[in-house]
Amino acid sequence: MLLTGENPTLKNQLLKNIYINNYEITTNCNLITSLKFIKEFTLNSSKESQQGEVIKTYPFLETNQNIPVSFEIIFIHNNILYRYGFKLISDKVIKEWLFAKFSTRETMLFIRNRQEFTLGRKFKEGKNLISFTRPNALFLSVCAQFNGTISTSIIYWFHKIIFYREHMTYTTDIIQNYNELYSLEKDILSQFINNLNINISLEEILFHFEGNNIFSTGTNKILNLLGYIINGLNYENILFIDDNNIATDFHMSLLNHLIEFTSSYQTKSNAQIVIMLEKAHYNN
């Protein structure tokens, strides 16, 4: 379950930084792997597949394509608590559902059983789109493609889920456009670099990211990650970090420093950071 703190009444009740022990989670049910699939399938199922094509559910259905797999995600967006999920086999969506709490009571927006749909009174945008929904496509994705108000808003929220990857250009872009940054971004960047105690200037960082390898692998990774965090705070994203991507030659103390440092800025932002830790780093 994921919650974003966009409701002012809940803002101080939700976790902004989350550490999850990934050691006992098997590959096939890894949280980040599941979230990547949910995001990708929700954003693209209506436009990147054709009738009868197999749903790309790797690694969830690779052993038996006829065993149903279910996904559900709960989140807050625009002060509304949503509960959205779907159930799949290899070439069909066999169930799909969307509920919302506009006040204290949960409201059904739609329920799908294969190609039979029940629409709630507040989901009028889906009324004429059932016939456009293929068995291997999500109804929510179809409705968003036709600019439905609720569905488009939910798709926008899914875009806020960001997964850390190396070799992206967030940090480089931020430094190259330093004079055009918002004051929050400038403050985070300059204050963090000053507090690292590794004697790095903005000019040296830019020189490094322009292809001149002057930093250690660990420092390079923390600077890559810094760009993600600044971008996340600015756009109020949910940033997922798998330490499989950063642990090698990485200074975990720098990661802790980065998270502690940015926590003070999260009072001004609804951004969240979720870190999956292997056992070797969990106690640290």
| Whole-number pLDDT of residue 28 | 40
Burial class (CB in 10 A: 0-12, 13-18, 19+), 41: buried
Mean pLDDT of residues grouped by 10 in the chain (284 residues)? 51 70 55 88 81 65 70 92 93 95 94 97 96 94 96 96 74 67 65 68 69 69 77 84 61 67 72 73 49
- Edge to edge, what strands does the sheet with 238-242 contain? 17-21, 272-277, 238-242, 161-163
Using the structure block, give the residue that is written with the tokens 């009324």.
127
- Domain residue limits, the chain: 27-159, 163-282
How many CB atoms are located within 10 Å of the residue 146 CB?
14
| Whole-number pLDDT of residue 116 | 97
| Whole-number pLDDT of residue 249 | 47
| Whole-number pLDDT of residue 40 | 92
Asked if residue 59 has a cis previous peptide bond (ω within 30° of 0), the answer is: yes
**Dist. CA 251–CA 257, nearest whole Å:** 10
DSSP per residue, 158-188: HTTEEE--TT-SHHHHHHHTGGGS-HHHHHH
